[in-house]
Structure formats: C-alpha cells, structure tokens
Structure 1
C-alpha cells in the first residue's frame, strides 16, 4: 500500500489487491506528517519481516537440499569407514538447525499475524474516525450554508435600512428648510404687523387732519380712499397672516410626525444592529469550532 498526502490535513492510501482507496482527515498538518512517517515505518517493518521470512524459508530449503545431498555420502562413509554412532553424529546438527529455523519462522509468523490483527484494528478505528469526521464536515458545511443565507438576508435588510435612513435624513433636511422658511415668515409677519401699526397711526393722523382742516376736504376724500385701500390691504394682510399661521401649524404638525417616524425607525434599526451583532458572534463561534 502507498500513502499519499492529498492536502495539508488529508491523506489517502490505496490497496491495489483489494481495489480499495482509504482516506483520513487530521486536525493539523503535524499530525498528518506524523501519521505518514509512522505509516512508512510500519510498511518498512512489514517489508523487512517479509524479506526475513523469505530468507529464512530459502535458507531452510537450501539446508534441506544440502542435507539431502549429503546424506548418501555420509551413509556410504559410515558404511565403509564408521559405525551407526558416527552416522548419528553427522545427521544431528542439521536437524537441530532446521528445528531452530522452524521455531524462528513460527515466531515470525505469529508476530506477523498479531501485527496484522493490530493493523486491522487500527484501520477499523481509522475508518470509523474518518466516517465521523466526514459526517461532521458535512454538517459543518450545511451549517455554513445556512449561516451564509442568513447573513445575506440580514445584509439585504441592512441595505434597506440604510436607504430608509438616507430618505429620513433628506426629510430632516426638508424639515430644517421648512423651519427656516417658518422663521422667515415669522419675521415677515412681524414686519407686516409693524407696518400695519404704522398705517393705523397714519390713518389716525389723517383723520385728525380731516377734522381740523375743513379746507382739505378734497384731500380728505383722497385720504378716505387711501384709508379704504389700506383697510382692504389690512384685511388682505390679516388673511395672509391667518394663512401663514395655519401653514406654520401644519409645518409643526408634520415636523412632529416626522420626529415620531424617525424615532420608530431608529428603534427598529437598533434591533437589527443587535441581531447583526449576535449573528456575527455566531459566525465567529462557528469558525472557532471548525
């Protein structure tokens, strides 16, 4: 099997004989590197154990062949030159060596079997961990998508609130302009009242002059006409004053309505800002958990 790093925190290995690919995720790159090194170490140890077992098998087979070839010679030698005790002395060491080699092979096979079982257990635990990590990653991705949608909705609402604030600021500017116009109208009203008083004084003076100087009757008629015109103008001015006062009252009423609407909007805006703050804290917490 060959282990390959596919990213900084994920690796996979393929078993060509089983036609299977395994993957495993890690919380840090250091753990991935440590696992890759341990994987390579175990792989090298398994290879060495396999090579040793093959060497031992070949050695045992060579010994058996050599003993098979040497047995007739020793038999002939014993039959010619020696006794049965000498033949036993020639065959004993090779059998003991073969038995020792067989014991070593059995021990290596037992160790290999225990290692295989251990690696299968570790592989099973790694598969379970990988499945849990995969499910957690999927849940995290779904949660991130949900929060992204919520963030987009809140962003749209925030844009709408900002446009509403701009509109209210424009309305406030219009209110300030109306206040300035009202102040101008008030000053104009005071000027008209002062002018009216002056005209009344002038009319009074003209009446006195008409009573005192009979010779000025013709002029008095002219003054009377002026007086009528002034009275008419006075009425017009009074109507204008009433209209201006009505307009001032309406302006004050609209100003109070705009203030109430602005206060309501500011309360709603504070609520939305608190929701955005909570949402940002949720996103930060989610990032830390991931």
Structure 2
C-alpha cells in the first residue's frame, strides 16, 4: 500500500449500532484523520482511519458501494466486508463534498480495475463459458441415460447369463437324479410286488395240488364202498 495518502480529511467517525441498526455509536472521542490510500499489492482503494493504536476504519472501496450524504455535514456508506455502516461528520459542507467526490472517483476506478481483470480472465480462458455447459450437459445425459450394452452384452451380462445357465443345468441334473432315484424305488417296489405275486402263485398252485390229491383220495374211498 502506498505510504502517501491520496486525500486526508478530519472527521468524527461513527459506526451503526449492530443491535438496533438505527443508532450511531461514536468510534472516536474527537475528530480523527480519514485518508484514501491505493493498495498496489491488491489493486484496490482503501479508506483508513486510526485512533491511537486502533484502526477505526479499514474499508476497501468496491463498485457496489455508495456514499450517501444524509445532511449538510454528514455522510455514510455500508461495508459488507466489515459487516457495518460507517458515518462521517465533517466540520464543513465543503469537506463533505470533497470526500464524496473522491469516494465516487475511486469507486469508478475500482470498477475499471474489475472490468480489466474480467477481460484479462476471458482472454486467458475464452473457451470456459462454452465448454462448461457442454460438460454439464454430458454429465446430465450420463446421469439420465441407461448404460448401453454391446451386441453380445456386457461382461456383467455375460457373467449373469453364465451363472443362470449353470443354475439351470444344476437344476436339471438335480431333477434327473430325483427321477432316477424315484425310478429305482419304483423298480425295487415292482420287484418286491413281482416276488410277492410269484410267491402267492406258488402257494395257490400248492393248494390246488393238495385239493386235487384230496379229491383223488375221496374218489378211491367212494369206489371201495
């Protein structure tokens, strides 16, 4: 920051009451020096006032600021960075007018600095304003569009189908085992039934033979009588 002030004036400094936002609170007991400085390091204009060892005002002038004269000897401006409103009471109307004109001049200078910085930024990066929407559009489309699969499907799809085929094959084998098992049981049951039938037939044949033998014996006995 430059060591020499661009303009210095004596004024009583006030700050707005943060509680009421209406009443003024004196920041100095008496009139102090209020100066305009140019900060070359940051390319900004500042309003600085020091009371003793304490900085009462350290305000950067921006294009959005406005200095308003509320009376013949009093003016104010809001500083959003400091989150306050500063008020200055001058001894004469001429001093207030001088401060107001200087404030307006440095405000316009701050606007020029901002415009030049913006132009330099656009020259260094001319494609940013074009590419960014395209990138955003692509990202939005990627979020909304479903994933595309190839003709033969993706690797995940192939893996899924392979697993499905394995499951189907396993199920078929299990069913075949079950059918074979049931067939074996039926076959064993048939063998048991056949054996039982054969046994029953043998018993029937034996019973018939016994019956025939008994009939023959009865015939002989009847013939002898």
Q: Say yes or no: TM over 0.5.
A: no
Query: More helix per residue: 1 or 2?
Result: 1
Query: More strand per residue: 1 or 2?
Result: 2
